Every structure is written in C-alpha cells, then in structure tokens.
Amino acid sequence: MAVSNEFPGAELPGAERPDPVDRLPSGWRPSLAQSGLVGVIALGLTLAVAELLAALGQLVGWLSPASSPLSALGQSFIGLTPEWLKQFAISTFGSNDKTALMVGMGLTLLLVGVVIGLVGRDRPRIAVGLAVVLLVVTGAAVLSRPDATVVDLLPLALGGAAGIGFLVSAFRRQLAPATPAAEPSVEPVADAQPTGTTGDHHPMLRATPVGPAAATRRDFFRFAGIGALAAVAVGAVARWIPSTAQVAASRSAVALPAATAGTAAAPTDVLDDVPGISPFVTPNTDFYRIDTAFVVPRMTTDQWQLRVHGMVDREITLSWSDLLAMPSLTHMVTLTCVSNPVGGEYIGNADWQGVRIADVLAMAGPQAGADCVFSTSVDGFTVTTPLDVLTDDRDALLAYAMNGEPLPVEHGFPVRMVVPGLYGFVSATKWVVDLEVTTFADATAYWTVRGWSAKAPIKTSSRIDVPRSQESVSKGKVPIAGVAWAQYRGISGVQVQIDDGPWMDATLSGDAGADTWRQWVYYWDATASGTHTARCRATDATGAVQIDAIADVVPDGATGLDERTFMVTA
C-alpha cells in the first residue's frame, strides 16, 4: 500500500511495537504537545485553504455559500444540537447563543486536530484515516446544504489535500531515521568524546543535541512553523474576502432606523394602471444596474467605513453605526445613466433613505477653495461631484436603503451616494468608502479619464413606454404613455405628436418633488387603420423644452426626441 511506505514507523508489527523512535538513531521525537500541534496546524491549513477557495468561488459566482466548510459545519452543528442544549445555550448566553455554538464547534475542531496529531505520533496511517473520515463528514455537511452541488466540495477537497499533505510530511519528519548524509556524523561525534565510558551515550549528548537529531528537530520545527504561518496567512485572506453568505447575513441583520425627515411617499395621482407604463416607483429587482464591476464588490457593514479627508479642517472616519446614528431622511430620486440613449432603459425611480452628504461634510469642515468631492468605491471606481451640489438644498444622500430595504448588494450595499439632478457617473458612487474634498483641477474621475465630461447635469427628457415599437393596436382610444424627467428642475408638461400633426398636451401624474420623473398619458383617438408614429417632448419647470437635436450619449448625455412607430388595425 502506497501510504504505508510513507511511514516507516507504521510498518512495525503491532505486537512488538516498541516506541518506534527507539529504533531511530536520531534520538528525537516531538513532545505530546508538539504532536498535538501538528494535528491542529493540519486542520487549520485545511480549513484556511478551503475557506479561501470557497470565498473566491462565491465571488466569481461559481460556488454556492455551502462551499464554505465552516458555514456548512456550523449549520449542521446547529441542526444536530439537541433541543435541550439549544435551550440551555439560549437561556445561558442569550443573544450570544450563536457565538456560544460557534465557540463549541471551534473547540470540538481543535480537539479533533489534537487527537489526529497525537494518534499520528505512533500510528500515522490511522491518523490520516481519521483525517479522511473528518473530511468525508464535512463533505456530507456541505452536500446537506439546500443550495449545494457537487462542485461545492472542491474547496474542501483541495483544502483536505493541503492538510493531509502537511500531516504526511510532518509524520515523516518526526519518525524518519536521520538522513543518510547526516547519519555517519553521529559516530565521529560520539567517538570524539574523550570519555572512558566507551559505547555508552553520554548524558551530555542528549542534553545538547547535535548532528542528525538536531537537524531533524530543526527541520521539523521549521516545517511546522511554515505550516502554521501559511494557515494563518491564508485564513486571514479568506476572512478578509467576505463571502456571499457573510454579506447576505450582514445585509439581513440591518435594522433601518426611522427617518427623521423627508417625504418619500409616491403621489396619490400616479398612472400605474395605464397598461405597459413604467410604475411610478421602480421595484428594486427591476432597477437598471450599471457599473464597471466584473465581480460585485462585497462588504459587510462591519467592514464598511467612510473616510472624509482632503481640503477639510479635520479628517473624519465614520463607521456604519456612526452613520446610522445620524439623522436620516427619505428622498425619492430618479436615477439616470448618461449612457441612456433616447428612449432607453437606464433610468429608475426609488425611495432612498440615508444621511445628508452635507451633514457629513460639515463634520469635516470643507476649506475655502475646494470645489469638488472625489468619491471612491471599495473597488476603486471614482467620481467627481461639485461640492456646491453636495451641500445645497437638494439633499444629496449617503444612502443605505432603497425602497425600504437595505441597499441591494448590486446597488451599492452597504452605502452609496444618491445626488438628485446629476447623471450616475458623476454622482452615484456605489460601495462608497472615501470622500476627498478637493478641486476639479486636481481630481479626475474614472469616466472623465475615458473622454466623458467632468460635470454632467441630467438633461430634460422623456420616453414612450406604450405603444411598443411595431405594436398593433385596435382602433379607438389608444393610450400613448411614458415617463418624463428633469431631476432637480422638475417636469411641468409633456406633449405628444402623432405623425406630423400638432403637439398635444398629455396628462401628467403627480410627482414626489422635482427630483422624480412623472408619468404621462395621452389618449389618442385612432380612427383610420395604418402605420403611425408617436413622438413626445417634455418641458421642465423652468419652461425649457426638451432639446430635439440629436446628440450622442458621449460626453454628457443624449438629446433628441423618442418616437414609436405602431400599427392601427381594424
């Protein structure tokens, strides 16, 4: 058997099994504590490697949360804990009962590691066998998770390979005879002693190990030390990469404070019942998503902090609990992407809750001469926003909730910026962790480097939702309907033109202030069958009419009128 060759000590017949080390000329073997430590290090290495791979696998979306052996074991541990023990834990540890269970699990694992190491002192094959059993049990725990698939076993398998590899090498070191190269040096050293006690080992030789015993011992310690360091380092990296499960747990643990100000309620006169129109409030799951993140940045609320620095009187750092303790408001704001083509989908309206950016900046005290806030996301994406826009009456927010829920991860959990009136690329930094008060002369944002404008207020625009392009509609009252927006200025009117006829006023929904879009509808009486084109244009509250000249989205937003060609059938 291949494994037995790895362990000279294990080859000894069980009956006359003396301490195998007695046969080793090196004369050294690890103490009980050192052997136990070997098992613990092997276990630590296994878990660290597996957790790191599981975290990475979840980040890129290949693995489910079940791939984390610790969380799978923890869940099973909780599941297998008898009811009386759970009750005992709850009544004894209160809200720390989960922690108590985790500590219990940690101690159990530690004990298992020690046992494997101790068994491995004399019976390495059995120790490896125990390790394999432990891996199989953990694998079963992984597969027992509802969302698990076979690939979720991969991190555990590779972690297990690392741990067993370590065990095997450590056992070899502690049981191996001295290396042939070093062995001959024993006799000369012993012989060189000018003592009369020929043949006997001098006690001094044991006390000051030299030669192969010392070499074996040094090698063993070096090896164990490297193993321990690797386990700690890999474990630290794994912990630092928050898993999907960790972030999901962090998000569901958020208790949103009551807003101290703001009126986020949608108006009562919405047009949601016009078939096919965009609902006044966009559900989170339908909200457009635009970012440069190949992998969605994942951060827990514990990991989040916001540094405010640069041209300020005093640099500050806010934690999640600092932010939640500040007065918050709810504010309905329609977000728009500069890349939204005329008639496009990159727009949505939500009720945001958060802290006024102006309040946070005031704590730091922006200095004279600053005109810009350079914000950075945890993934390195950057944005420049005019300081005056962030401090004026428009209530730009550091938002932590969207439509009454903690921010969805892909929309910036735990904290993002929401600034009424500016396109997202110059205002809406998701996963924001850093605000630097600076000047536009000194700071250049991610998209500005790539040829987009440094400043980009949203252009007044409107979109036709129905009829859809090339849709066939019946004669009679045909609703022509959609949305119009001019955030921070507000919409005062929308007009509709059929073919090249006159512009006719549409009916508007209410709004939730100047920062939200308004729905609109015009019921056109279709009398003749045939192909028709509908066009729309909005007027903002300053009286300016939507620009009809066609402009591309680069560098600061598209212009032109949306139109739809549709068929009226008999």
Ligand X SMILES: Nc1nc2c(c(=O)[nH]1)N[C@H]1C(S)=C(S)[C@@H](COP(=O)(O)O)O[C@H]1N2
Closest distance of CB 335 from ligand X, Å: 5
Q: Convert 279-305 into a string of H (helix), E (strand) and C (coil).
A: CCCCCHHHCCCCCCCCCCCCCCCCCCE
Least distance in angstroms from the C-beta of 346 to Mo ion:
7
Q: Which stretch binds ligand X (CB under 6 A): 123-131, 161-169, 289-297, 386-394?
A: 289-297
Pick from 179, 292, 319, 469 the residue near ligand X by CB under 6 A.
292
425 binds ligand X (CB under 6 A): yes
Of 436, 291, 261, the closest CA to residue 353 belongs to 261
φ and ψ at residue 535, rounded to 5 degrees: -135, 150
Report the partner that residue 17 touches, choosing among ligand X, Mo ion, none (CB closer than 5 to 8 A by kind).
none
> What gap in Å lies between CA 98 and CA 86, rounded to an integer?
9
Candidate residues 86, 201, 222, 289; the one interacting with ligand X per rule CB under 6 A: 289
Name which of 112, 125, 179 is nearest 17 in CA terms: 125
CA angle 176, 182, 188 (to 5 degrees): 125
Q: Cis ω on the peptide bond leading into residue 414 (within 30° of 0)?
A: yes
Nearest residue to 276 (alpha-carbon basis) of 467, 462, 39, 419 = 467
287 binds ligand X, rule: CB under 6 A: yes
Q: Which of 481, 495, 488, 493 is nearest to 539 (CA)?
A: 493
Of residues 431 and 524, the one with the C-beta less far from ligand X: 431
* Residue least distant from ligand X (Cβ): 424
Query: Which residue type does 103 have?
Result: V
Peptide bond into 242 cis (omega under 30): no
Part in contact with ligand X (CB under 6 A); list of ranges 88-96, 319-327, 426-434, 458-466: 426-434
- Bond before 8 cis per omega within 30 degrees: no
298 binds ligand X (CB under 6 A): no
337 forms part of the interface with ligand X (CB under 6 A): yes
Task: Tell me which H or E stretch contains 222.
Answer: helix 212-240
Residue 506 is classified by DSSP as P
Q: Which is nearer to ligand X, 336 or 539 (CB)?
A: 336
Q: How far is the CB of 381 from ligand X (least distance, A)?
A: 4
Query: Rule CB under 6 A: is residue 520 a binding residue for ligand X?
Result: no
User: Shortest distance, CB of residue 410 to ligand X, whole angstroms?
Assistant: 7
Of the candidate residues 73, 148, 224, 335, the single one contacting ligand X (CB under 6 A): 335
309 forms beta bridges with 436
Contact 6, 193 (CB under 8 A): no
Question: Quick one: which of 67, 250, 353, 377 contacts ligand X (CB under 6 A)?
Answer: 377
Binding window for ligand X (CB under 6 A); candidates: 291-299, 366-374, 456-464, 478-486: 291-299
Provide the 3-class DSSP secondary structure of residue 334. strand
Q: Pick the closer one to ligand X by CB: 164 or 417.
A: 417
Q: Is the dihedral of CA 309, 313, 314, 316 positive or negative?
A: negative
Q: C-beta of 527: minimal distance to ligand X in Å? A: 41
| Nearer to ligand X (CB atom), residue 122 or residue 291 | 291
> Could you say which DSSP state residue 546 is in?
P
Contact pick of 121, 430, 532, 564 for ligand X (by CB under 6 A): 430
Q: Are strands 563-569 and 530-540 parallel, antiparallel or unpaired?
A: antiparallel
CB of residue 289 to Mo ion, shortest distance in Å: 10
Contact between 345 and ligand X (CB under 6 A)? no
Q: How far is CA 265 from CA 269, 353, 397, 420, in A?
A: 12, 12, 17, 16
Asked if residue 428 binds ligand X (CB under 6 A), the reply is: yes
* Residue 288 touches which of ligand X, Mo ion, none (Cβ within 5-8 Å per kind): ligand X
Q: Minimum distance between the CB of residue 424 and Mo ion, rounded to whole angstroms?
A: 4
Which secondary-structure segment (H or E) carries 318? strand 316-319
Opening angle at CA 561, ends 556 and 567, nearest 5:
145
Element (H, E) at 354: strand 347-356
Give the interface with Mo ion as residue ranges (CB under 5 A): 290, 337, 424-425
Least gap, CB of 383 to ligand X (angstroms): 7
Total of residues contacting ligand X (CB under 6 A):
19
Which residue, 24 or 333, is less far from ligand X as judged by CB? 333
| In the complex, least distance from residue 338 CB atom to ligand X, rounded to whole angstroms | 7
Minimal distance in Å, beta carbon 474 to ligand X? 36
Using the rule CB under 6 A, is 431 a contact of ligand X?
Answer: yes
* Two structure tokens written together for 526: 């279709």
Residues that bind ligand X (CB under 6 A): 287-293, 335, 337, 377, 379, 381, 411, 424-425, 428-431
